[in-house]
Amino acid sequence: MFSFSQQNNFFGPRCVWVNGPVIVGAGSSGLAISACLKNQGIPFVVIERSDCIASLWQKRTYDRLKLHLPKKFCQLPKVPFPEEYPEYPTKKQFVDYLENYAKKFDIKPQFNECVQSAKYDDACKLWRVKTVSTTGSIRAETEYICQMLVVATGENAEGVIPDIEGLKDFSGEVIHAKDYKSGQKYAGKKVLVVGCGNSGMEVSLDLSNYNAKPSMVVRSSVHVLPREIMGKSTFDLAMMLMKWLPLWIVDKILLIFAWFLIGDTQRYGIKRPSLGPLTLKNNHGKTPVLDIGTLEKIRSGDIAVVPGIKRFTEKTVELVNGHILDIDSVVLATGYFSKVPFWLHDKDFFSENGWKGKGGLYAAGFTRRGLDGAIADAVKISKDIGKEWRKELNQKKQKVPTHRRCISTF
């Protein structure tokens, strides 16, 4: 990285040439790409809007969170998880692993820099990435210029807040699941959890464990599978079966096991989709829920399952079946969205392969395949960047006479 232009005004914007890719996001994908590039001797700059790596895990997840998949599917390139870690590492263990990973590869992101725009300059064949520093009260602007741009912010940047009639009039606390930490302060309270994905299920379980009275809104159909089948990870089993069997047969096998191990979820108000769990994931990106104890709480009556919401009032919620519930708080487990389309000036960002666009543009973690998919994207991206980097380097060498050959890098 080399700052080649800076205005005399101390607070004015500066322009920085990056002799390599700019990576936006210091989460697991950004770190994985950085480490792989480091091993290839390719310079890069990582931009992170927060003040730490893996800000989603550190600041916007609940305390009881663990990896949903076995650790072997979630480890970053070159460094496995410590042997003493359990099969499903805790939030703290995963964050510690990522921080140690960054130290091992000497990855030092530019923290507190929020991307305002990223635009490809067709005339110069370069990317112009403009950022604003989010440190303190002073607004510092920077423009990074590079040949390759890697978007590694992932799909879960901001929480989706649904537009539900009367929600603004509700007098109790309303938070998104990204701001939920623990059910401790909700003991004895009636809490409505809106959403029945993995977050909604786990938040409901956590609330129940702290003696709250959660009601979980199940508006649409969802697949619930046991996290493990006969002592083996359901995900691991599915990956193994798919090596030998068609997807639809693997779906049937998983559903048969689910029926025997957790029973008919429709009895508790949770309908299954018509498509199988893996087919639904592949075609529509909808992840099945891996049960870690929520269904048992539903069966015992500690967690109530309720249908969709019609409207909120000051202290109650009216459901689509006409029932009215008194509630104290609302937790919105209603998903996330990416802010990339707001700052990336490229209509072809989501290319057909999901990870490589035009003009040196790459994206990690946007293929709706979870953490393991994001890491797989990172490996492909770093390999492709390495190939393009070596190709360009060879072209530069061929253009320079042998007796005057000199390559300058910053």
Whether residue 110 is contained in a domain is answered as yes
Q: How many domains, the chain?
A: 2
Whether residue 404 is contained in a domain is answered as no
Mean pLDDT to the nearest integer, 204-232 = 96
Residue 396 confidence (pLDDT)? 75
Q: What is the pLDDT of residues 367-405, one digit of tens each?
A: 777 788 888 899 999 999 999 999 888 887 777 554 433
Whether residue 410 is contained in a domain is answered as no
Whether residue 3 is contained in a domain is answered as no
Helix, strand, coil tally for the chain in percent (to 5): 35, 25, 45
Burial of 91 (0-12, 13-18, 19+ CB in 10 A): middle
Residues 91 and 106 in one domain: yes
Residue 9 confidence (pLDDT)? 47
Residues 289 and 234 in one domain: yes
Residues 183 and 51 in one domain: no
**Looking at per-residue confidence, does 2 or 93 come out higher?**
93
Whether residue 7 is contained in a domain is answered as no
Residues 270 and 205 in one domain: yes
Residues 87 and 75 in one domain: yes
Residues 56 and 167 in one domain: no
Whether residue 1 is contained in a domain is answered as no
What is the token pair recorded at 287?
């992840």
The answer to whether residue 407 scores a pLDDT higher than 50 is no
Q: What is the pLDDT of residues 125-176, one digit of tens each?
A: 999 999 999 777 778 999 999 999 999 998 887 899 999 999 999 999 999 9
Secondary structure class of 22 (helix, strand, coil): strand
Residue 402 confidence (pLDDT)? 47
Residues 296 and 383 in one domain: no
Whether residue 45 is contained in a domain is answered as yes
If pLDDT is split at 50, 70 and 90, which confidence band does 347 have?
A: low
Residue 404 confidence (pLDDT)? 36
Q: Model pTM? A: 0.90
Residues 149 and 189 in one domain: no
Q: What is the pLDDT of residues 37-65, one digit of tens each?
A: 999 999 999 999 999 999 999 999 999 99
Mean pLDDT to the nearest integer, 246-257 = 97
Mean pLDDT to the nearest integer, 80-92 = 96
In whole angstroms, give the CA distance from residue 43 to residue 48.
17
Residue 5 confidence (pLDDT)? 52
If pLDDT is split at 50, 70 and 90, which confidence band does 408 have?
A: very low
Asked whether the beta carbons of 205 and 183 are under 8 A apart, the reply is no
Question: Letter for the amino acid at 132?
Answer: V
Q: What is the CATH number of the domain that holds 80?
A: 3.50.50.60
Secondary structure class of 21 (helix, strand, coil): coil
In whole angstroms, give the CA distance from residue 373 to residue 296.
30
Residues 379 and 391 in one domain: yes
Distances (CA, A) of 316 to 71, 332, 334: 42, 16, 19
* Domain termination site, one of 335, 358, 388: 335
Residues 347 and 273 in one domain: no
Residues 167 and 86 in one domain: no
Secondary structure class of 388 (helix, strand, coil): helix
* Domain termination site, one of 295, 310, 335: 335
What is the token pair recorded at 3?
């700052």
Residue 1 confidence (pLDDT)? 62
Residue 370 confidence (pLDDT)? 79
Q: What is the pLDDT of residues 348-363, one digit of tens each?
A: 655 556 789 889 999 9
Residue 244 confidence (pLDDT)? 96
* Domain termination site, one of 283, 303, 335: 335
Q: What residues make up the domain containing 103?
A: 14-157+338-399
Whether residue 40 is contained in a domain is answered as yes
Residues 147 and 112 in one domain: yes
Q: Tokens 């919105």: give the residue.
A: 332
Residue 2 confidence (pLDDT)? 59
Mean pLDDT to the nearest integer, 205-216 = 98
